[in-house]
Structure formats: structure tokens, C-alpha cells
């Protein structure tokens, strides 16, 4: 089949309008601020609306191609950018539910829509008529008096077509389309397998003796989980982080620690129907083939061309600068733990499932820091108040609960975000706790991106999804300090989406820059001056005492060897996979072992994500990009110093950060944005100092 025939098939397949008249996607949303009417959207609406959306956008693309006028920015680039409004409405809802509130039915719909989306995208990227018009605008831009944002948008769109295969012959275009469609299915199934393995596992304890060492809050949460599963009088631990991490930290039963930890890291690696080994090989081979078709030596070369890092050697250079001091520190930490084991008369060598337990014991002994004591000062309610207060002091924003807005789950909390002058900025949904239909981790995403349509600003709708510890018994949700940092982190992503002032859709920043707005927020969360304002005891309302803040600060660099090593190991594993020039016959477990042996990873630590559940790179958007968190940390630590050099809430600095970073979207080159804010390029020293690695 030629490429032209493929497009014809797409047009025919999509040119089927639904007979349903009550599909909410086909009408303007009759809701406040035009948010999705989650209360009336049903699963049956997605496929008809998506197909109609494909059809409408292809008709819009055809109109651009058939336009007899000379290609201009307005009639080609802007028309292309603003096309597909119905499709965007569907994509503003369905993928969000697929991640946050999935079900067997939604998974089945995804298996239909995900490959259709990939084929549709390919049909646009590989449309020769559309590319010729885009290229004409690109080649003649000097005569078009474009503003800086339009110039950047034009360059990014032109590159998007080139990197999508627009310059290939028909046979190669067809193969690119086949690869994209297959990859979309494989990456979806990879994540589904992980979710199934996570949801299917329960460690059921029947004897109270097996709970030795566990705080009451952990026991209570396990009892609640057992009750929910119809196992009254027992205790259930799962592979959701709020369950397995506290168990590893506190359980005195080493055999049970080993049992649940192995269950965690063996997800999708057990030779059953949810095994991901074969899928990893297929994904790697297809990504490499695609990169080769487009003229790149490896998938990493292809990806990094569009990142701040630019090429694999720069990523490896950064990671190794961090790896060596981090590994040295991790070895010291391991020796401390082994010494404690020996002093206690333990006749065993420290293993991976012991690390969390002995790290917590040393933290309590060396810094007298009890995680349960800390949690008491971080109820979800007070953390929300504290976060809102920080953002108000920085940017003047206020957050008004809007219980009148429809939500996709009763636990979701919607807010109207207002500027200092009380004008409307956007809508933010927050979804806090684990559910069987929610994938693990935490993320922020856009339901509707801010943009200008017909001269009118369309305001953003964003959401934050997390998996925080649930309330138990008569206690509210008490967050760990790590969960608190995660909340501030994801809120930074949301601010980035809310503040974006770009006129055009899809002008997003590079992956290794996108974590700057999120990670910088963690600095305020942990600052002693800020902690005093929001960390309050859930029973007494007393602010966190100075001595506990001092303990938190003193302990902040403890275990940083482990934290940095497990993250950097995963980043290097990602780069090793995607720097391959031949992925045939690869066996993931053997490859991972060789990769970790090469850098000298000690046996007491495993990568933060082992291959078979490494969703960031095999199911998310971080292939050849997991290093981005560290790259962005170089930026965020340096950027936060700009506030420390003035004051925590210095208005001039906050305004500059908003104007030069948060509002720009992808309308400028990333380092240019950063230098416009900071006046110079960043250095790595603040990162090393912040982690205690210097």
C-alpha cells in the first residue's frame, strides 16, 4: 500500500459520523469555564467522538493543502496548529481517565483509540502537500515579519515534520506509520501490565506478630485495606508506595521485607501473561529502526537532538559527575548499616530489602528523627494551605474550591485559580489517593492548554494526580515529608501550565527543562522559614518545633548516596538501552545486569526502576530522557539561589521567573529563557552541595 492509499483509508475510516445526539463532545461544554462535563461523559462517547475528531481534522488539513493562496504563517502554520479542536476535547479527557480512573472497559477502548491516534498523527506528519506548504513558509520566513514566538513555533513545527518522516519516500513513510502505530500499542500494554501486577498482589498477614515494628498508622492502613478486600481481622499490604515503603522502613520481619520487596521489583518479570521482557525488546528494536530511517545512529541521538543536552555524550558526562561521589557516599552508608546489623548480632549481609529498614533506624538513632513524628505535622489539609500560601506570596494567586464543577471521581477536588486582582486564571483539579484504577506515581497534566482562538484567550484547565497515604481510622491523611515534596513538585508543573502565555498550542519545552518549574518548588517546601508557616500538628495545631526542623535539615543529606545512586543508575540504564546500535536478541535482565556491573553498582542497591516496570521510558515520554530530573536539578538549585540572594519571596525575582520561564511555554530556546531570568548559565555546584555530595 502506498502512502497516498494509507491516507485514503484513514479518510474513509474516519468519515463516519455518530448517530448519537447526546454525545457531550459534539457540543460546547455547558459548564462553568467550559470544563469537561465528567458527570455526563460515558465510555460509549469516546470512540464516536474520536473518529469524528479525526475526520474533522483531516478535512481541516485538506483545506490547508488545497488553499491556492501563497503559504503564509497564518494560512498554514497557525491553521495547522489550531486544527483538531474536537480531537483535543477527547484527548483532554480520555487519556486522563486511562491513567487516573481506568477500568477494563476503558482499557479496551484504549486498545482501539491509541493505535488509531498514532495512525492519524502519521497521516498528518507524512502528508506531502501539508509539508510542502510548511516548508515554503520555513524557507521564506525572512520576508514574513514574524514575531519571536512565531519564529520559534515555525522552526519547531518544521522540525516536527522532518523528524516525523516528511522527507522520506512513500515506502519509508508507510514503515514509519506502521512503527508508530505498533509502538503506541506496545507502550500502552507495557503500562497496563505494570498496573495489573501492582493491583493483583496482596501480602496478607494473619498474625499480629508479623506486624512487629510497624507504627500504628501503618497497621491501621493495612487493616483498612484488608476490610476493603473482605478480609476482616487481617492486614493487607500492596505494591502501592504508601503501603510497601512504610513496611520496608519499619517491619522487623526480614523474611516479609524480602517477600514484598521482591514482589515489587519482579513486577512484569515473572514469565506470566503480564511479563514485559518480550515487549521491551520489540520497543527497542522499533525505536532503533525508526531512528535509522530518519538518519540517526541511535534512538538516543534522535531524541536528544531536541533536548538541552543535544547528544548522549553530554548526558553521560553529567551523570558520571554525579555517579562517582554518589556511589562513594552510598558505600559509606552501606558500611554504617552493616555495622548496625553486626552490632545487633545479625548473621547476614545487608541486602536491598534491608536498606530502607536500616536507613530508618540510623535516621532515628543518628538524627533522632522519627518518620511518624514528622508525619503528624504534615496533614494533607495543612500542606494544601501551606502550598497555597507559598504560591500566593510568590505570585499573588488564590485558590477557590469549586464543588459545583463536575469531576471524574468523588475524591477529586476542583479549584478556580485567580490572579492577585481576582481575575480568572484557570482551573486546577487535584486527585490525591491510590485506587485500583489509578497507575502508580504522581503527575501533572493539562486537560486544556491555554491558547488564543479568534483573538480570545482560552484559559487552561490542569490536573494533579498523586498516590498519597489515605486517612486511617480517626486520623486525617498524614503525608510523609517525601510526599509533601512530591506535592510541591507536581504543583510546580501545574503552575507552568496555568501561567503559559504562548498564543499557539503545542509549543512545549524540552523534557530536560520541564522539571525546572516543578523541582524549584521543592526548595520552598523544605525551607525552615516556610515549614514554620504550614507544618502544624494535626491534633494540637502547634507549628513544627525548631528542633524538629533542625533534625529534618540535618537528616536531609542522610541517605543521599542511596537516593542519588538508585536514580542515576536508572538514568544510565535508560541511556544504555537507547544508545544501542543493535537491539536484536537482547535479553533485558542480562542487559540490565551488565549495565549495572559496568558502572559498579553495589549489590545492596537496585536501580530506582528495573527494566520491566520502568514506565517512564517504556510507557511514558522519557525514553533517553530519565536523566532530565537531574539536568533540571542543576537548573533549579541555581535558580533558587536567585531567591536566596535576595529573599525567599522577593517579588522582582518571582516576577522575573514567571515572565521569563513559566509564561514562555516553548516560545524561546530553553537556555535563552534561563539566562534571561538568571543572567548567566547554571553550574553543577549548587546541586552537589544540596545533596551533600561535594
- Residues catalogued as catalytic: 490
Q: Apex CA 59: angle with CA 55 and CA 65, to 5°?
A: 145
Alpha-carbon Rg for the chain in angstroms: 26
Distance CA 584, CA 587 (A): 9
Counting Cα atoms < 13 Å in the Cβ hemisphere of 443 gives 16
CB 152 within 8 A of CB 506: no
C-alpha cell at 75: 494560512
Phi/psi of residue 465, nearest 5 degrees: -125, 130
Residues in the chain: 694
Q: CA 543, CA 535: separation in Å to the nearest integer?
A: 6
Distance, in Å, from the CA atom of 325 to the CA atom of 329, rounded to the nearest integer, reads 6
Residue 187: phi, psi to the nearest 5? Answer: -70, -35
Q: In 15-127, where does DSSP find H-type helix?
A: 46-66, 79-82, 85-91, 94-100, 104-125
- Work out the number of other CB atoms within 10 angstroms of the CB of residue 381: 12
CB 477 within 8 A of CB 432: yes
Residue 84, phi-psi category: left (phi > 0), alpha (psi -120 to 50), beta (remainder): left
Q: Helix or strand or coil: residue 462? A: strand
The Cα-based distances of 239 to 227, 250, 670 in angstroms read 17, 16, 38
Alpha-carbon span 120 to 569, nearest angstrom: 36
Residue 455 CB contacts under 8 Å (≥ 6 apart), including other chains: none
Q: How far is CA 668 from CA 148, 153, 665, in A?
A: 8, 9, 8
| Lookup result for grid cell 486544556 | 448
Question: How many Cβ atoms sit within 10 Å of the Cβ of residue 679?
Answer: 9
Question: DSSP assignment, residue 543?
Answer: B
CB atoms within 10 A of CB 647: 12
Residues β-bridged to residue 413: 430
- List of long-range contacts for 9-18, beta carbons under 8 Å, 24+ apart: 10/54, 10/58, 10/119, 10/120, 10/123, 11/55, 11/58, 13/51, 13/54, 14/51, 14/52, 14/54, 14/55, 14/58, 14/120, 15/55, 16/51, 16/55, 17/52, 17/55, 18/48, 18/49, 18/51, 18/52
Q: How far apart are the C-alpha atoms of 431 and 414, rounded to whole Å? A: 9
**What gap in Å lies between CA 411 and CA 419, rounded to an integer?**
26
Amino acid at each position: 500500500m502506498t502512502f497516498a492509499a494509507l491516507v485514503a483509508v484513514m479518510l474513509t475510516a474516519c468519515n463516519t459520523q455518530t448517530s448519537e445526539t447526546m454525545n457531550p463532545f459534539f457540543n460546547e461544554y455547558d459548564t462553568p469555564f467550559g470544563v469537561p462535563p465528567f458527570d455526563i461523559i460515558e465510555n460509549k462517547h469516546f470512540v464516536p467522538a474520536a473518529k469524528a475528531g479525526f475526520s474533522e481534522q483531516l478535512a481541516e488539513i485538506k483545506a490547508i493543502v488545497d488553499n491556492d493562496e501563497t503559504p503564509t504563517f497564518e494560512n498554514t502554520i497557525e491553521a495547522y496548529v489550531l486544527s483538531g479542536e474536537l480531537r483535543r476535547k477527547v484527548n483532554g479527557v480520555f487519556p486522563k481517565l486511562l491513567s487516573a480512573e481506568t477500568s477494563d472497559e476503558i482499557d479496551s477502548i484504549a486498545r482501539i483509540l491509541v493505535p488509531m491516534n498514532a495512525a492519524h498523527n502519521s497521516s498528518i506528519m507524512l502528508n506531502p502537500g501539508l509539508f510542502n506548504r510548511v516548508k515554503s513558509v520555513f524557507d521564506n520566513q525572512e520576508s514574513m515579519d514574524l514575531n519571536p514566538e512565531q519564529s520559534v513555533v515555525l522552526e519547531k513545527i518544521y522540525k516536527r515534520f522532518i523528524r516525523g518522516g516528511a522527507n522520506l519516500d512513500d515506502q519509508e513513510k508507510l514503515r514509519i506509520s506502521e512503527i508508530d502505530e505498533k509502538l503506541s500499542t506496545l507502550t500502552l500494554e507495557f503500562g497496563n501490565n505494570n498496573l495489573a501486577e501492582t493491583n493483583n498482589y496482596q501480602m496478607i498477614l494473619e498474625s499480629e506478630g508479623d506486624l512487629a515494628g510497624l507504627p500504628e498508622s501503618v497497621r491501621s492502613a493495612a487493616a483498612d485495606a484488608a476490610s476493603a478486600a473482605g478480609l476482616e481481622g487481617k492486614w493487607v499490604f500492596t505494591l502501592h508506595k504508601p503501603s510497601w515503603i512504610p513496611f520496608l522502613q519499619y517491619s522487623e520481619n526480614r523474611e516479609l521485607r524480602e517477600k514484598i520487596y521482591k514482589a515489587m521489583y519482579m513486577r512484569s518479570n515473572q514469565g506470566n501473561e503480564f511479563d514485559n521482557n518480550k515487549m521491551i525488546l520489540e520497543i527497542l528494536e522499533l525505536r532503533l529502526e525508526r531512528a535509522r530511517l530518519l538518519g540517526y545512529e541511535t534512538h538516543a541521538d534522535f531524541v536528544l537532538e531536541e533536548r538541552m543536552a543535544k547528544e548522549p555524550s553530554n548526558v553521560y558526562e553529567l551523570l558520571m559527575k554525579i555517579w562517582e561521589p554518589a556511589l562513594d557516599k552510598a558505600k559509606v552508608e552501606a558500611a554504617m548499616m552493616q555495622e548496625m546489623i553486626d552490632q545487633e548480632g545479625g548473621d547476614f549481609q545487608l541486602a536491598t530489602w534491608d536498606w530502607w529498614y536500616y536507613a530508618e533506624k540510623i535516621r532515628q538513632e543518628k538524627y533522632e528523627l522519627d518518620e511518624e513524628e514528622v508525619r503528624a505535622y504534615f496533614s494533607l489539609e495543612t500542606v494544601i494551605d501551606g502550598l497555597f500560601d507559598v504560591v500566593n506570596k510568590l505570585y499573588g494567586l488564590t485558590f477557590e474550591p469549586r464543588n459545583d464543577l463536575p469531576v471524574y471521581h468523588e475524591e477529586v477536588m476542583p479549584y478556580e485559580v485567580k490572579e492577585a486582582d481576582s481575575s480568572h486564571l484557570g482551573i486546577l483539579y487535584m486527585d490525591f489517593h491510590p485506587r485500583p484504577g489509578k497507575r502508580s506515581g504522581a503527575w501533572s497534566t493539562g486537560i486544556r492548554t491555554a491558547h488564543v482562538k479568534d483573538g480570545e484567550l482560552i484559559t487552561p484547565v490542569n490536573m494533579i494526580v498523586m498516590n498519597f497515604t489515605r486517612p486511617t481510622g480517626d486520623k486525617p491523611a498524614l503525608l510523609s515529608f517525601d510526599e509533601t515534596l512530591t506535592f510541591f513538585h507536581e504543583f510546580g508543573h501545574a503552575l507552568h501550565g496555568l501561567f503559559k502565555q504562548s498564543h499557539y498550542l503545542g509549543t512545549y519545552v524540552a523534557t530536560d527543562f520541564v522539571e525546572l518549574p516543578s523541582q524549584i518548588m521543592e526548595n520552598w517546601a523544605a525551607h525552615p522559614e516556610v515549614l514554620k508557616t504550614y507544618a502544624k500538628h494535626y491534633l494540637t495545631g502547634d507549628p513544627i518545633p525548631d528542633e524538629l526542623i533542625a533534625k529534618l535539615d540535618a537528616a536531609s543529606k542522610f541517605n543521599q548516596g542511596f537516593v542519588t545512586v538508585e536514580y542515576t543508575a536508572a538514568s544510565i540504564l535508560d541511556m544504555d538501552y537507547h544508545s544501542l546500535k543493535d537491539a536484536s536478541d537482547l535479553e533485558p535482565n542480562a542487559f540490565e545486569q551488565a549495565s549495572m556491573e559496568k558502572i559498579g553498582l553495589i549489590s545492596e542497591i537496585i536501580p530506582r526502576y528495573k527494566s520491566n516496570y520502568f514506565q517512564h521510558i517504556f510507557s511514558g515520554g522519557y525514553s533517553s530522557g530519565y536523566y532530565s530530573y537531574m539536568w533540571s536539578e542543576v537548573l533549579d538549585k541555581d535558580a533558587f539561589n536567585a531567591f536566596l540572594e535576595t529573599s525567599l519571596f522577593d517579588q522582582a525575582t518571582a516576577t522575573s521567573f514567571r515572565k521569563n520561564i513559566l509564561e514562555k511555554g516553548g516560545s524561546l530556546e530553553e537556555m535563552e529563557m534561563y539566562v534571561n531570568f538568571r543572567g548567566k548559565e547554571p553550574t553543577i555546584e549548587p546541586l552537589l552541595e544540596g545533596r551533600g555530595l561535594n
